[in-house]
C-alpha cells in the first residue's frame, strides 16, 4: 500500500477546513482509490477514509493507524453502514 500526499490538489478543502473548524493541521492523502483526510486540532487527531467504489478493507485501516498515529494511543473507529466511510479519532 502506498500513501501519497495530494494536499496541494485539494487546497480549497484544506483552506475551508482550517477556516471553518478548529483544525490546526490538515493533510489529504490518496491510498489507491481511497481518499484520506488527516486533521489535527490542539487535542485530537482525526483520520477520515472514503471510497466511493468499494468497502474499505480492515488492512487499510490498520495501515493508516500504524502510519499516521505513530504511538500506541487508543483510538475510536466509526464506520458507516456501507463501510465506504470510516473515521478514526484519538487524543493527542
pTM equals: 0.92
Q: Which fold has domain 3-91?
A: Streptococcus thermophilus LMG 18311 protein like (3.40.1720)
Q: Strands (DSSP E) along the chain, which ranges?
A: 3-5, 25-31, 34-40, 44-50, 76-79, 85-91
Residue 5 has what DSSP assignment?
Answer: E
Backbone angles phi, psi at 31, to 5 degrees: -125, 85
Per-domain residue ranges of the chain = 3-91
pLDDT in tens, the chain (92 residues): 899 999 999 999 999 999 999 999 999 999 999 999 999 999 999 999 999 999 999 999 999 999 999 777 889 999 998 999 999 999 98
Amino acid at each position: 500500500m502506498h500513501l501519497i500526499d495530494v494536499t496541494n490538489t485539494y487546497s480549497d478543502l484544506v483552506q475551508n477546513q482550517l477556516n471553518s473548524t478548529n483544525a490546526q493541521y490538515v493533510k489529504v492523502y490518496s491510498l489507491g482509490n481511497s481518499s484520506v483526510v488527516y486533521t489535527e486540532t490542539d487535542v485530537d487527531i482525526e483520520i477520515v477514509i472514503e471510497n466511493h467504489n468499494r468497502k474499505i478493507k480492515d488492512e487499510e485501516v490498520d495501515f493508516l493507524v500504524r502510519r499516521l498515529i505513530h504511538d500506541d494511543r487508543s483510538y475510536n473507529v466509526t464506520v458507516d453502514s456501507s463501510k465506504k466511510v470510516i473515521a478514526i479519532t484519538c487524543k493527542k
